[in-house]
Amino acid sequence: MVAHSLRARVRAGMIDEIKTVARRHLATDGANLSLRAVARDMGMVSSAIYRYFPSRDDLLTALILEAYDALGDAVEAADAAVERRDLRGRWHAVCRAARAWALAHPAEYALIYGSPVPGYAAPDDTVAPAQRPPVVLVGILHDGLTTGRLTPPPDELPDPLREDLAEVAAGLYPGMSEALLARGMAGWTQLFGLISFELFGRITRTLPHRDEYFDHQTGLMANLIGLPGPS
């Protein structure tokens, strides 16, 4: 039992080291990971690394899962730190947390929100971690509806979109207004567009006061959703 426990700890330590080296490669080479290159940097023969990650895709999946969970932890903690009735404050806190995480981990952000990796298909077990950040936003909307602090907007959705959104709502918060969910999803996609433009240098010269710009834009998104401020 002791020997088994020791082997498990050694294996876990080796997996962590492999992922650490792979993240360094992400920062320099993007998602074009090579198991051979990672093994070389670790002083391993290339065949040894396959005992821990049978393929490049397995290593990419591990990095993707970690990135989604780290972002999920950041936005959930930010949301939890704000008084529940302050819907707009929660929204701003979540947006700022997502941005802060992305700026601190640009390579990991690019891995999960940048260009798709050629030849890679994410497995189903990445779906739940990927949903953690948007579920936080939907939770803010749900809290606003149940407390009466948030009023659904007029439903002007085309029928096919309403059906799609009803299915999404059923899996998250049954009874959620499809029109409100549509605005929430618009805010969320604009948030990541905003972060991506900043992270990938699209507004670097145009808008040097990026903190102020970010808060202004996320305020506009909150207006679109209809989030009130604190009472």
Tell me the per-residue pLDDT of 173-212, one tens digit each, with 9 for 90 and over.
898 999 999 999 999 999 999 999 999 998 988 999 999 9
Q: Are residues 144 and 102 in the same domain?
A: yes
Residue 11 placed within a domain: yes
Q: Is 141 in the same domain as 190?
A: yes
- The mean pLDDT value of the chain amounts to 92
- Structure token digits, residue 45: 């023969």
- Does residue 231 belong to any structural domain of this protein? no
Q: What integer is the mean pLDDT of 163-169?
A: 95
**pTM, full prediction:** 0.91
User: Within 10 Å of residue 172's Cβ, how many Cβ atoms?
Assistant: 15
Tabulate helix, strand, coil % of the chain (nearest 5): 70, 0, 30
Q: Find the CATH number of the domain harbouring 15.
A: 1.10.10
pLDDT band at 4 (very low <50, low <70, confident <90, very high): low
DSSP 84: T
DSSP 8-class letter at 203: S
Domain end (from 26, 54, 82): 54
